[in-house]
Amino acid sequence: MSQLYDCRDAFAQALEEAARNDPRIVVVINDSLGSSKLKGFKTAFPQRLVNVGIAEQNMVGVAAGLANGGKIPFVSGASPFLTARALEQIKVDLAYSQANVKLCGMSSGLAYGELGPTHHSIEDLAWTRAIANLTVIVPADPLETAQAIHEAARVSGPFFLRISRMPVPQVHPADYRFRIGKASWLRQGSDVALIATGVMVARALEAAALLANDGIEATVINMATIRPLDRETVIEVARRTGAIVTVEEHTIYGGLGGAIAEVVVTTYPVPMRILGVPGVFAPTGSPEYLLEHFGLTPAGIRAAALELLKARAQQ
């Protein structure tokens, strides 16, 4: 089994590097120092870390004000509270205002497992991707996380970066170069496409290996940027494979699957399956248990792909 990483480490390290290179970078947190792994940042730049306490609306507004004053704030807090509690501030103070603020939604998706649905953040992509001007990025591994942080620091404008704490392997080669709005092709195959994001990318790759044993060659796409979506890649994938399975650790309403389907049905309609949390609040269980429960596993993805191909053949 390959080595697993917590992407928050890459996040924190990249942020420190970026802050060393750019004195405008500051961090705003909501008592989330430890959960964001930013103790090192605080030691390195004590003046440049603003803790507003448990106050998400204020946190986002303060970040907008810091940006007005010429700073580049990275806001880091648990994704369920950051996005849900401060959604109006995200819409108005950041996106509508084109504020140069980078939201880092930590421990997103089902990562808080046993803590329950109050702490799950399985709607954050739907909420954020509905907002104009907001760039929405879900890194899949440590390398991509670090590069996404550096890109967010470099490119002006409001960002939402969805960062998990669930362990993931490195899925990209060392020479990978993340680009905003560009999907990465991790495997080429003409029978079916698996389009995944975040922690599901590694699982989609494993599913492709299982499908290869079945004699089915799958394309695997890491859709790291949810908005602006790489429409060209989606259309090309639809043309090449004629069948798409999307996989996300998020509700199936309005997330990655919805975004892909919006492109597919209006450009090159092909049959799809959308895997994710099926519009329910999750039962009690560890993150791994919940992924298993919702079929968000290599075996579950394989089964969905096989079912999709069978259904298509019967059409």
Size (the chain), residues: 315
Q: How many CB atoms lie within 10 A of CB 177?
A: 11
Q: Which stretch binds other proteins (CB under 8 A): 91-99, 117-125, 145-153, 189-197?
A: 91-99
Nearer to other proteins, 87 or 166 (CB): 87
> Position of tokens 């905003």?
180
Query: From the CB of 96, what's the least distance to other proteins, in Å?
Result: 5
Residue from 247, 248, 223, 245 nearest 233 by CA = 223
Grouping H, G, I as helix, E, B as strand and the rest as coil, residue 288 is helix
> One of 16, 17, 56, 88 is an active-site residue; which one?
56
Q: Which of residues 1-30 bind other proteins (CB under 8 A)?
A: 26, 28
Q: Is 144 a catalytic residue?
A: no
> Distance between CA atoms of 138 and 140, rounded to whole angstroms?
6
> Distance between CA atoms of 264 and 261, rounded to whole angstroms?
5
Radius of gyration in angstroms for the set of CA atoms belonging to the chain, rounded to a whole number: 19
Structure tokens at 244: 């798409």
Nearer to other proteins, 88 or 214 (CB): 88
Query: From the CB of 58, what's the least distance to other proteins, in Å?
Result: 4
Grouping H, G, I as helix, E, B as strand and the rest as coil, residue 139 is coil
Binds other proteins (CB under 8 A): choice among 6, 16, 93, 249 = 93
Nearer to other proteins, 26 or 163 (CB): 26
89: Cβ contacts below 8 Å, ≥ 6 apart: 57, 60, 61, 64
284: Cβ contacts below 8 Å, ≥ 6 apart: 114, 116
Query: From the CB of 180, what's the least distance to other proteins, in Å?
Result: 20
Q: Which of residues 25-84 bind other proteins (CB under 8 A)?
A: 26, 28, 47-48, 50, 52-53, 55, 57-58, 60-71, 73
| Cα-based torsion angle of the residue sequence 78, 158, 160, 149 in order, rounded to the nearest 10 degrees | -90
Nearer to other proteins, 159 or 178 (CB): 159
Query: From the CB of 71, what's the least distance to other proteins, in Å?
Result: 5
Nearer to other proteins, 63 or 204 (CB): 63
Binds other proteins (CB under 8 A): choice among 88, 114, 232, 307 = 88
Q: What does the binding site for other proteins look like in residue numbers (CB under 8 A)?
A: 26, 28, 47-48, 50, 52-53, 55, 57-58, 60-71, 73, 88-89, 92-93, 96-98
Active site residues per annotation: 56
